[in-house]
A = this chain, B = another copy of it.
Amino acid sequence: MTSSSETIDTQGVAHDLELRQFLAQARSRVDAELDRLLPGESVPPTKLHSAIRWSVFAGGKRFRPLLTLAVGQTFGVAEELLIRTASALELVHTYSLIHDDLPCMDNDDLRRGRATCHVQFGEATAILAGDALQTLAFTIISEDPRLAPEKRLQLIGDMSRASGSPRGMVAGQALDLDAESRNVTAEELEQIHQLKTGALIISAARCGAMIADATEHEIEAVTEYAAQLGLLFQITDDVLDVTSTAEAIGKTPGKDQRSEKATYPNLHGIEEARGLALRVHGRARAVLDQIERPTARLAAIADYILNRTA
């Protein structure tokens, strides 16, 4: 979001530059950690491990790990304490994408501009790659030597609840499947997204705050910030699906609209979806006032998502 005052505009540009540097650096750290944590492609079963790496290193935005790092660093924690948990969250996210893309689910052949896991390696291997990624996420956190046992358990508990059912990602995916065969209300749509994508995004932010030993009140504020961020991410995703070119978003644009899928533009129209995005962005920024820390980077992340073009 750009401001009307020139002074603040300059500050906005500086923040934007700082954020882009943070994002680029953090992505490269997360990628290096993921590379270190995953079995090599030459380790048997080689096809499985190739499939895992194919999907993990498919050019993902690393949004969840970035959020863990940004929140943790806002509370003064060093990156080394955050990086494993951040990477584990990306593994859970990647497993969910692999399974979502399967023919019996969303049936997507293309993700981020290249073949999805099952297209490249077959359905059976894709299912197993997703299964192994989920398992590995919990192994990684359980073995993180930099965090106290109680902390690791707290992270595993939060992340697993956010990934499963009835209060997490898999529940959202199940409700989404169910919604395809009927009309859903705006409230139902929001609940589906809150579970399907919001829950893990919230957990990513909470994990950063928990590693930092943030207070209950601070964790609550972070939770609300991330909830709005997740919603914003989904709305802008739906809007981009309608307005973007295939090249920019790496998948067939308009696919959701054609399939009568429950999306914000389908439900509200494109202009009202954009207006909703602005209001949600405002709520995300407003809740940051409750955190007595330097939250400029978290605010910049909200701006970045609002204005993203891919």
Give chain A's interface residues, CB within 8 Å of chain B: 39, 43-45, 47-49, 52, 95, 99, 102, 104-105, 122-125, 127-128, 130-132, 134-136, 138-139, 142-143, 149-150, 152-153, 156-157, 160-161, 163-166, 168, 170-171, 173-175, 177-178
Q: Chain B nearest CB: distance from A164 CB in Å?
A: 3
Q: Chain B nearest CB: distance from A302 CB in Å?
A: 29
Which of these, B122, B163, B178, contacts A45 with CB under 8 Å? B178
Q: Chain B nearest CB: distance from A47 CB in Å?
A: 7
* Contact A143–B164 (Cβ < 8 Å): no
Majority SS at the chain A contact face: helix
Chain B residues lying within 8 Å of A136, measured Cβ to Cβ, are 160, 164-165
Each complex incorporates copies of this chain amounting to 2
A104 and B119 CA atoms in complex are apart in Å by: 13
* Contact A104–B128 (Cβ < 8 Å): no
* Contact B166–A45 (Cβ < 8 Å): yes
Q: Chain B nearest CB: distance from A141 CB in Å?
A: 8
Query: Which residue on chain B has the smallest CB distance to residue A134?
Result: B134
Chain B residues lying within 8 Å of A48, measured Cβ to Cβ, are 165, 170-171, 174
Chain B residues lying within 8 Å of A161, measured Cβ to Cβ, are 139
